[in-house]
Amino acid sequence: MSGGFRIIILILGFCFSLVTARYLGVELKGKLSYLITIGGFAWVILDFGLYRSYPYLIRKHPDKIPSLFAWAILCFLVETLLLVLLCVGFTDFWNSLLGSSFSMASLLLLVGFITMTKALMQLQGLYLGMDKVFDSSLAYMLNSMICLAIVLSGYLLISGAEKLELAMLAMVIGLSISILYLIVKNKWGNPLKVFDWKFIYHSYGFGFRVFLSSMFILLLLKVDIVFVKKMLGFSEVGIYSIASHIVDLLQMASNLVGSLLLVRLSDTDNEVEKWQVMKKMLMVFFVLLSLANIGFVVAGKFILSTMFGKQFVPVYYVYFWLMPATYGLSFGSLFNNYLNSKGFPIISIILPAIALLLNLALNYALIPLMGIYGAALSTSIAYFMWFILIIAYEEKITKGRMLAYLIPKSQDWMQLWKLSLETLRIRKNAE
């Protein structure tokens, strides 16, 4: 079910990237990507790691679901009000901090993007913990569909509008409708009657390690956008963001599967069972990523020039340097959830922090030498290092036992091939 939704979301995400690139052009596309990146940092800081711990907490404390829901909604209302007041009262300060001059409308929409993204992620965490994968996935898809519909309408029908503001408004409307869907879909009753301050406090204490891990991972994923903007400019950000977005789209599947894995792996303490599951995931994603990358090598330049426009053709060459990052990021995301299923150990903070420091150092060294390609190469090396460090750590603490179960054998590939054929046969019969 989640795989089917994810395919649709990947297509919608690609279409949104395509339309915004055509609609905004290189420089405004760069500004939009920069604001989304800054907004991503902001909501992760406000969340303090809570949304990633929701599935785990719910599996361990299912009676606390209404309390977590009430806290998510209360925080959304309070944070939105406070950030709007700060935005209106200190506009010049925020523009100085962002390094550019944005309109009041853009800043207010950025506030909406920050608080609504946080609320949606927390609600999705609740639904995943309750095993309501369909509703969680549908909400994500609704967000993507609405964003695309509004931006496409602006591209085709509206002239003379503030293009950046329209693109951001589309994201805010999409987020708000998805949040409303998740609120209305479940019968929460009156969660204030069962609100548990002590448990909320406990959740933040538990989620602090998750927060640090999430923050380091987000910085690892997005710090290159900030470096490119600072050292090269918004036009280069526009080019780099498209290539980076392709990596993000390919990683979305592993991110969702990783969230589902966190629920499943949290239910067992059997290490061998966990390793066997992870082996299957590695094999599946290796095949999918390889097919996607081969397809891009063959048709990427034609797709970019035809659909995005000739000004975005340089994305093709940037992506070559980012191609190793697709494997490192997807595999790292999967195995980070494996670490989290063991109770969010401190090592889940240390390893992405090491990879982040490597990424920072490489960006400083390589961007002056290689330009935008230096940022891409830095990212690929750092992502892969994150994955390698997780494997090395687990191999050490299991005294060399894990790799024997993790490395696929010929019979594993044969089993995967037979399973794929069987799946296709079932779908054909269903049609």
* Digit-coded pLDDT (tens) for 306-331: 877 788 888 889 888 989 988 888 88
Q: What is the pTM of this model?
A: 0.69
pLDDT reading at 174 higher than 90: yes
Structure tokens at 185: 């879909």
What are the pLDDT digits (tens) for 76-118?
A: 999 999 999 988 888 888 888 777 788 888 899 999 999 999 9
Under a CB-based contact definition with an 8 Å cutoff, are residues 168 and 113 in contact?
A: yes
Regarding predicted confidence, which is higher, 35 or 198? 35
For 36-68, the DSSP string reads HHHHHHHHHHHHTTHHHHHHHHHHH-GGGHHHH
CB atoms within 10 A of CB 273: 13
Identity at 6, one-letter amino acid code: R
Range 325-336 burial, b when 16+ CB lie within 10 A, else e: bbbbbbbbbbbb
What are the pLDDT digits (tens) for 281-301?
A: 888 888 888 888 898 888 888
Most confident of 121-125, 202-206, 332-336: 121-125
> What is the pLDDT, as a whole number, of residue 141?
86
> What is the pLDDT, as a whole number, of residue 161?
61
Under a CB-based contact definition with an 8 Å cutoff, are residues 344 and 56 in contact?
A: yes
For 197-242, the DSSP string reads HHHHHHHHHHHHHHHHHHHHHHHHHHHHHHHHHHHT-HHHHHHHHH
Regarding predicted confidence, which is higher, 367 or 410? 367
> What is the pLDDT, as a whole number, of residue 262?
55
Most confident of 226-230, 244-248, 261-265: 226-230
Under a CB-based contact definition with an 8 Å cutoff, are residues 13 and 263 in contact?
A: no
pLDDT reading at 195 higher than 60: yes
What's the residue count for the chain?
431
Identity at 127, one-letter amino acid code: Y
> What is the pLDDT, as a whole number, of residue 339?
77
> What is the pLDDT, as a whole number, of residue 399?
84
> What is the pLDDT, as a whole number, of residue 362?
93
> What is the pLDDT, as a whole number, of residue 164?
86
Confidence of residue 416 (pLDDT cuts 50, 70, 90): confident
Closest alpha carbon to 258 in 281, 290, 235:
281
Report the Cα–Cα distance between both ends of the chain, in Å, rounded: 17
pLDDT reading at 268 higher than 80: no
CB atoms within 10 A of CB 42: 19
User: How far is residue 200's CA from residue 208's CA, in Å, rounded to a whole number?
Assistant: 12
pLDDT reading at 424 higher than 90: no
Least confident of 45-49, 359-363, 375-379: 45-49
Torsion of CA 422, 425, 429, 430, to 10 degrees: 60
Structure tokens at 373: 């390609």
